[in-house]
């Protein structure tokens, strides 16, 4: 009846949820509507096309814009009538309610299982492998110590527990020994995450008291901390993103697996880490204006400016300095590289002298000034976020990476807009003036 004998094309997104419109076939449907190829959209059930009120509202606007009718076969809704449009909106509200109810149930189930010590998915941490077990009548997995990897874990913690041992000392040691962690060379961020992870500790009463003093929500009784089992640390339900690097309001639960590192050594490392957790203030490069702009051709890591014993500055690969796992790019004299880059900049700027069409220097463009101010602000925000990565855990890293990606996208837009406006306004006099600035740089 809905097709009335007309031709039709089927759009099916198998394996995709109706919670959003980011689905290949749905996007193809939208493109066909915009091409004027579709007069009516028929769905079996309303929530098969969308369970989001906002997405559905946008979709209906699109249908109205291109004079496309919408029919739900099961609910017998037809947007060609006022009653049909009203009933569709009501149905969407209940579809959204159902989705939020499902989310709530999943969240409740997650926290219920985590409080009972279930492993909540993910790859086994280095030092363990998983074996299937049954807990409370439910099939799940348990971490089991890998003896060979556990020896490396103990050594790592024992080294860092020494007051003078740094991240670099440990990463260099394992790199020189050719020891890989999950198939990769150990780097500082990974090392920091492992040292913070209570999955390795043989949790005793001292560990209980430590987390209690930090405001952590501890599920188990103090009597259960016997110095045998490791722990799982979960983000609290109401923890704000800005506080996820803190132990306050996070949830600690004893795990069924045995720990690897004695409590006294683990606590010594954890307390040492806490002294390094302060977010560094934003800083500017002082040794070279090329800082942050030059990378190693072998590994892609940034080059760092260092001084030799006689005070001469060189640029070296940071990965090479960190654990010697990169062949590096040799010792590059900072001043010589600055000269080469400077000459290329002068050459590039000089090419603008061929631009014609303006006899007088263009007046300052307020749009460019405003964009440059915003660009400086974006650069500052990116720099602060990069500096804040020191000591960050996986959760914080994911949020910071998303934010940096957003800021970088905005930065590229600003640079493009400034370049376009500058080309329109540039004059030979301005090129000469810029060259003069370079001469005194």
- Average pLDDT of the segment spanning 171-179: 89
Higher pLDDT, 434 or 228: 228
| pLDDT for the residue 32 | 93
- Average pLDDT of the segment spanning 415-421: 79
End-to-end CA gap in the chain: 78
Evaluate whether 98 touches 51 at the Cβ level (below 8 Å). Answer: yes
| pLDDT for the residue 157 | 96
The whole-angstrom separation of Cα 185 and Cα 434 is 46
Q: Of 47, 51, 40, nearest to 78 (Cα)?
A: 40
Domain spans, the chain: 24-114, 128-274, 338-439
| pLDDT for the residue 137 | 74
E strand spans, 205-282 = 217-218, 229-234, 251-258
Sheet holding 313-317, edge to edge: 303-307, 313-317, 332-333
At a CB cut-off of 8 Å and minimum separation 6, what does 332 contact?
Answer: 303, 314, 315, 316
Run of H or E including 366: helix 366-387
Entry pTM:
0.50
Topology classification of domain 24-114: Rossmann fold (3.40.50)
Q: Is the pLDDT of residue 440 over 50?
A: no
Range name among 202-211, 267-276, 320-329 with the lowest pLDDT average: 320-329
Higher pLDDT, 224 or 324: 224
Evaluate whether 337 touches 290 at the Cβ level (below 8 Å). Answer: yes
| pLDDT for the residue 362 | 40
**pLDDT tens string 3-62:** 666 788 898 888 787 777 888 898 999 999 999 999 888 888 877 777 776 677 778 778
Give 394's pLDDT tier (boundaries 50, 70, 90). Answer: low
């Amino acid at each position: 009846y809905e097709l009335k004998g007309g031709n039709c094309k089927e759009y099916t997104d198998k394996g995709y949820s109706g919670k959003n419109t980011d689905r290949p076939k749905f996007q193809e449907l939208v493109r066909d509507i915009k091409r004027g190829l579709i007069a009516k959209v028929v769905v079996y059930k309303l929530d098969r096309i969308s369970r989001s009120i906002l997405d559905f509202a946008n979709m209906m606007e699109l249908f109205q814009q291109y004079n496309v009718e919408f029919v739900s076969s099961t609910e017998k809704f037809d947007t060609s009538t006022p009653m049909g449009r009203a009933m569709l909106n009501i149905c969407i509200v209940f579809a959204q309610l159902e989705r939020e109810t499902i989310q709530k149930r999943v969240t409740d189930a997650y926290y219920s299982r985590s409080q009972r010590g279930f492993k909540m998915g993910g790859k086994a941490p280095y030092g363990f492998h998983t074996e299937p077990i049954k807990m409370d009548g439910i099939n799940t997995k348990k971490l089991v110590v890998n003896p060979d990897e556990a020896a490396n874990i103990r050594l790592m913690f024992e080294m860092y527990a020494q007051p003078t041992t740094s991240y670099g000392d440990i990463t260099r040691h394992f790199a020189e020994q050719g020891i890989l962690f999950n198939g990769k060379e150990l780097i500082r961020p990974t090392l920091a995450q492992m040292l913070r992870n209570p999955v390795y500790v043989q949790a005793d009463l001292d560990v209980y008291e430590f987390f209690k003093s930090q405001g952590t929500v501890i599920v188990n009784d103090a009597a259960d901390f016997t110095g045998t089992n490791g722990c799982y640390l979960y983000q609290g339900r109401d923890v704000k993103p800005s506080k996820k690097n803190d132990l306050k309001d996070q949830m600690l639960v004893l795990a069924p697996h045995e720990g690897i590192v004695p409590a006294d050594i683990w606590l010594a490392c954890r307390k040492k880490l806490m002294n390094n957790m302060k977010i560094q203030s934003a800083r500017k490069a002082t040794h070279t204006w090329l800082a942050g702009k030059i990378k190693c051709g072998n590994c892609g890591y940034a080059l760092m400016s260092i001084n030799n014993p006689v005070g001469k500055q060189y640029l070296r690969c940071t990965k090479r300095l960190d654990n010697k796992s990169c062949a590096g790019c040799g010792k590059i004299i900072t001043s010589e590289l600055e000269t080469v880059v400077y000459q290329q900049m002068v050459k590039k700027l000089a090419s603008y002298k061929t631009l014609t069409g303006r006899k007088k220097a263009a007046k300052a463009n307020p749009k460019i000034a405003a964009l440059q101010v915003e660009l400086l602000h974006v650069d500052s925000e990116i720099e602060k976020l990069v500096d804040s990565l020191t000591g960050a855990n996986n959760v914080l890293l994911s949020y910071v990476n998303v934010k940096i990606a957003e800021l970088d996208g905005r930065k590229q837009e600003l640079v493009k807009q400034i370049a376009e406006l500058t080309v329109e306004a540039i004059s030979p006099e301005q090129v000469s003036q810029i060259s003069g600035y370079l001469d005194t740089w």
